[in-house]
A and B are shown apart, each in its own frame.
Chain A
Amino acid sequence: MLHAFIRVVRFATQSMKRNLWLTIATSGTVVLTVVSLSFLLAIQIGISQILQSTEKQIDLSVYFYPETSDEQANSVIVALRSLPQVTDVTHISREKAFADYQEQAKGLPELMRPLEIIGDNPFGAYLIIKAKDINNYGKIIDELSKPQYKDLIESQQKHFEENRVFIQSFSDFARKVQLGALIVAIVFAFISTLMMFNAVRIAIYTHSQEISVMRLVGATNFFIRGPYLVELITYGVLAVMIGGGVFMWLLYLVQPYLNLYFGAGEIDLWGYFLRNAIFIFGGQLFVIVVLGVVGSSLAIRRYLKI
């Protein structure tokens, strides 16, 4: 069986050598498919990392009156923690809030002067609340607006409204970019399938004499069709190696600029692709081979009579 397989591979290699320009053109188109699929994935991952990074910065701060006691503040914390939408509640005491302000105002007399005039700690304790999802903050605000908290809470500072607008508009933009990239990837995948179909068709014409002799002497379908399947798998492997290599090289060049723009480690496409290279490029090889098998099966069925 092994020698039969080796023979099929040898026939396929001969065929690819004989039609070298066709091999280059077909592999080139499949390379473009690999690059466009990788680009689509990079956009997807990049967008997801940007959204995650933005969502991390979103929270809701709730400021208590200076007169609100720790027990009263605790009752609010317990109520908030019981909400399924809340992931974390951090309590900043009056003293900590005062110390933080002093630290920030150090060396800034215009900020220190009001404190000297008041002569006491004017700050109340406050809470920093994080929700599971940006859309959950509305529910939390509703909870805090209940009458029993009216005399405890002085104000709320929403650090999510601007971010929510950003996330909304960025998501809309991202969807359009993703759609565009998806269309490009589908077009390239379609062209690749046609190219592989055509390559197999030409290979069948080129080898019509051999095929005719093979049929006469009783060659099995494995020997007649096998070389064409090996040929397109080779196109796929070549394309993934070249396309994947080119794409990773481009990513390596772009990553420092992403670090510079978004902050180190915020958008780490290079790291993501490196960690998942086997799955990403293995998956692409699988997709290309499936497309190739479809293309070549159509060509074989159409042009190769056994």
Chain B
Amino acid sequence: MINLKGVSKKYSDEIVALQRVNIQIESGEFVSIVGQSGAGKSTIVKLLLAEEPVTGGQIEVGGWNITTIRNRDIPLLRRQMGVVFQDFKLLPRKTVFENVAFALEVCGEPARQIREVVPYLLKVVGIQDRAHQYPNQLSGGEQQRASIARALIHRPKLLLADEPTGNLDSINTREIIDLLSKINEFGTTVVLVTHNRDVVNTLKRRVITLDNGKVISDQKIGRYII
């Protein structure tokens, strides 16, 4: 599913985010990428989304070679991935329904499909009764669920979660991680970027640890080691 071969990323001569990183993630895996701030975790997410070009090496995601991807193919690549962030990135002037529907609208999907898919996804993430409320009327956990619903809108093979529990309390954190696990059980590959020790240790899944832009550990059933 994901293959990083000798990937390096330099923002400038002084700022080196990744150094010859090799990571291989199979389809259906649940992988946590951990490390301290500045370790290079979020850079990997940006590279996988083709938001930033690599400085060296090669990245393949679901059959796409991101290193050589053409600009016009980037939207197609992104429709095969779902992304959730710490700050949810919900549009404040749209309701939950509209936020999720927006992802289909801007990809040119017909209104009939939007009316069918959006309520289904809101039910999957457990916020169907919040559909017509605005983000500021929801709790952090509910906002993140809405964000996950939006990320799943194109039925992606890969879900990237960049610090999804960073703004949540422990109860909501548990619920979101359970939701991600459930999504993984349905066959979606999940890459969780986090520095939450408890989350990683309770998951008992594969853990890749980064430090100073290098992979220092890759354990099949890992723990937070830094």
Contact = CB atoms under 8 A, between A and B. Distances in A.
B78 interface: yes
Interface stretch (A76-84, A126-134, A166-174, A214-222): A214-222
Given A3-B111, A209-B89, A209-B91, A214 B106 contact: yes
B126 to A, nearest CB: 21
Interface string B73-110: 01111110001000001011000000000110111101
Interface string A187-230: 00000000000000000000001101111111111111000000
Interface in B128-184: 150, 153-154
Contacts of A7: 105-106, 108
A306 B79 contact: no
Interface residues of A, number: 20
A217 B72 contact: no
B12 interface: no
B91 A218 contact: no
A203 B73 CA distance: 25
Contact of B79 (A4, A218, A222, A224): A218
Contacts of B49: 216
B150 A217 contact: yes
A216 B89 contact: yes
Contacts of A213: 89, 91, 102-103, 150
Contact of B108 (A210, A215, A223, A306): A223
A229 to B, nearest CB: 15
B106 A223 contact: yes
A217 B78 contact: yes
B102 A218 contact: no
Contacts, number: 57
B82 to A, nearest CB: 9
Interface of A is mostly: helix
Interface string B47-60: 00100000000000
Nearest to B100: A217
Contacts of B83: 216
Contact of A217 (B71, B107, B111): B107
Contacts of B154: 217-218
B163 to A, nearest CB: 15
B75 A219 contact: yes
Contact of A3 (B72, B79, B106, B110): B110
Contacts of B105: 7
Q: Which of A1, A217, A220, A222 has the most CB of B within 10 A?
A: A217
B75 A218 contact: yes
Nearest to A306: B71
A218 B107 CA distance: 7
B78 A215 contact: yes
A226 to B, nearest CB: 10
Nearest to A214: B106
A301 to B, nearest CB: 12
Interface of B: 49, 71-72, 74-79, 83, 89, 91-92, 102-103, 105-108, 110-111, 150, 153-154
Given A217-B150, A218-B77, A219-B107, 5 more contacts: A7-B108, A209-B92, A214-B106, A217-B153, A218-B76
